[in-house]
Amino acid sequence: DIVMTQSPDSLAVSLGEVATINCRSSQSLLYSSNNKNYLVWYQQKPGQPPKLLISWATTRESGVPDRFSGSGSGTDFSLTISRLQAEDVAVYYCQQYHLSPPTFGQGTKLEI
């Protein structure tokens, strides 16, 4: 199985600042035939299910603020949240879907 490792495990950032969460996979998530990275990011607030933020490593889902951006390729990826707001407090997960079974990172807890 592909192992997904996020860093840091927790992160405290001031309002209005930038938060960056990293995700590393044990195998490349880049599929050469379509040049796409099979990685998504989710946000999970307490007591709620995860919410899809970004697919294909960089494509923001409809309705997701443009403060959220994804980057990276191959085995190293990042989620950047700019102009941090109180509502961004959550646990963030990366997940690969390049190979079955789909696997998640352990999560990064973002606090203000």
Partner 1 sequence: QAQLVESGGGVVQPGRPLRLSCAASGFIFSDFSLHWVRQAPGKGLEWLSVISYDGNTKYYADSVKGRFTISRDNSNNTVSLQMDSLRPEDTAVYFCARGPRWSYYFDSWGQGSLVTVSS
| Footprint of partner 1 (CB under 8 A) | 38, 40, 42, 48-52, 55, 61, 93, 95, 97, 100-107
* Residue nearer to partner 1 on the CB measure, 78 or 104: 104
Nearer Cβ to partner 1, position 20 or 103?
103
Max distance between CA atoms of the chain, in angstroms, equals 41
User: Least distance from C-beta 33 to partner 1, angstroms?
Assistant: 13
Task: Write down the residue that tokens 């960089």 correspond to.
Answer: 58
What's the rounded Cα separation, in Å, for the pair 55 and 42?
A: 9
By C-beta, is 17 or 26 nearer to partner 1? 26
CB 98, min distance to partner 1, A: 9
**Any idea which residue has 């443009």 for tokens?**
66
CB 75 within 8 A of CB 25: yes
Q: What gap in Å lies between CA 50 and CA 30, rounded to an integer?
A: 24
Residue 4 Cβ, how far from partner 1 at the closest point, in Å? 10
CB of 83 to partner 1, least distance (A): 25
Q: Which tokens is 13 given? A: 């950032």
